[in-house]
Amino acid sequence: MQQKYYTIKRAAKLLHVTPLTLRNWDKNGKLKAYRHPLNNYRVYKTEQLEMFLRKIEISKEKVKNRKIDVYQM
């Protein structure tokens, strides 16, 4: 079974962010990159990106379904 990896440029395009954002997320631990063994470039596993996108969708649904109580004084 061959593992599929995305370069930082392709991953950024998929997530609709810049490569710099991905570098910052990697540094801050939000979305950790793997390193290519030969050139040390950042790469992302397909499954990793799919899980990250699912988390974003779940978070959006929670916000969408949130109810706000408004009190008048």
Binned at pLDDT 50, 70 and 90, residue 58 comes out as: confident
Per the structure, the count of domains in the chain is: 1
State the residue range of the domain holding 45. Answer: 5-64
Contact 49, 8 (CB under 8 A): no
Identify the pLDDT of residue 1. 44
Can you give the pLDDT at residue 73? Answer: 66
pLDDT band at 9 (very low <50, low <70, confident <90, very high): very high
Question: Is there a domain that residue 72 lies in?
Answer: no
Compute the Cα dihedral for 9, 2, 28, 15 and give only its sign.
positive
DSSP class per residue in 20-64: HHHHHHHHHTSSPPEE-TTT--EEEEHHHHHHHHHHHHHHHHHHH
**Per the domain annotation, does 14 fall within a domain?**
yes
**pTM, whole model, 2 decimals?**
0.74
The edge-to-edge listing of strands for the beta sheet with 5-7 is 5-7, 42-45, 34-35
CA distance 18 to 22: 7
Query: Tell me, what CATH number does 30's domain have?
Result: 1.10.1660.10
